[in-house]
Amino acid sequence: MGGQLRIIKRRISSVQSTQKITRAMELIASSRIIKAQQAVAAARPYAEELRRMMASVGKSAGSIDSPLLRSRDEIRRIATVVISSDRGLAGAYNSNVIRSAERDMEDHGKEKALYLAGKKALSYFKFRGYDISESWQGFSERPGISDARKVAQAVAKAYLEGEVDEVRLAFTRYESALTQRPVIVQLLPMPRDEFEGDSGEGAGASYEFEPSPEEILDLLLPRYVEGTILQAMLESAASELAARRRAMKAATDNAEELIGNLTRVYNQARQAEITTEIMEVIGGAEALAQEK
Amino acid sequence: MATMDVSIVSAEAEVWRGEAEMVVARSPEGEFGIMRGHIPFLAALIPGVVTVVNGAERRSWLVPGGFLEASGSMDDYHVIVLADDAEETGELDPAEAARRIEEMRQQQDSDDDSDRASAELIASMARAEREHGEYSSPG
Summarised one tens digit per residue, pLDDT across range A27-50 is 999 999 999 999 999 998 998 888
Count of residues in chain B: 139
Mean pLDDT of chain B: 80
Q: ipTM of this complex > 0.90?
A: no
Sheet holding B57-63, edge to edge: B30-35, B22-27, B48-54, B57-63, B87-88
- Whether CATH 3.30.1490.190 fits A28-199+207-246: no
* Lowest mean per-residue pLDDT among A14-18, A206-210, B71-75, B99-103: B99-103
Q: Is the dihedral of CA A105, A43, A135, A79 positive or negative?
A: positive
* Calpha distance B70→B78 (Å, rounded): 6
pLDDT at residue A52 above 90? no
Question: Within a 13 Å sphere around the CA of A202, how many CA atoms are in the beta-carbon half?
Answer: 27
Which 3 state secondary structure label does DSSP give A102?
helix
* Cα of A75 vs its chain's centroid, Å: 29
- From chain B residues 24-83, the ones with a CB under 8 A of any chain A CB are 27-29, 32, 39-44, 65, 67, 69, 71-72, 80, 82
Residue boundaries of the structural domains of chain A: 2-20+249-291, 28-199+207-246
Which 3 state secondary structure label does DSSP give B61?
strand
Please give the interface size between A and B, counted as residue pairs whose CB atoms are below 8 Å apart.
90
B138 touches chain A (CB under 8 A): no
What is the CATH number assigned to the segment(s) A2-20+249-291? Answer: 1.10.287
* Calpha distance A210→B46 (Å, rounded): 11
Record: contact B12-A220, CB cut-off 8 A: no
- Name the band, by pLDDT with cuts 50, 70 and 90, for residue A246: very high
A203 touches chain B (CB under 8 A): no
Strands (E), A166-262: 166-174, 180-188, 208-210
Nearest to B60 by CA among B30, B83, B27, B77: B83
Out of A46, A208, A230, name the one closest to residue B9 (CB).
A46
Record: contact B40-A57, CB cut-off 8 A: no
Contact by Cβ (8 Å): B46, B26: yes
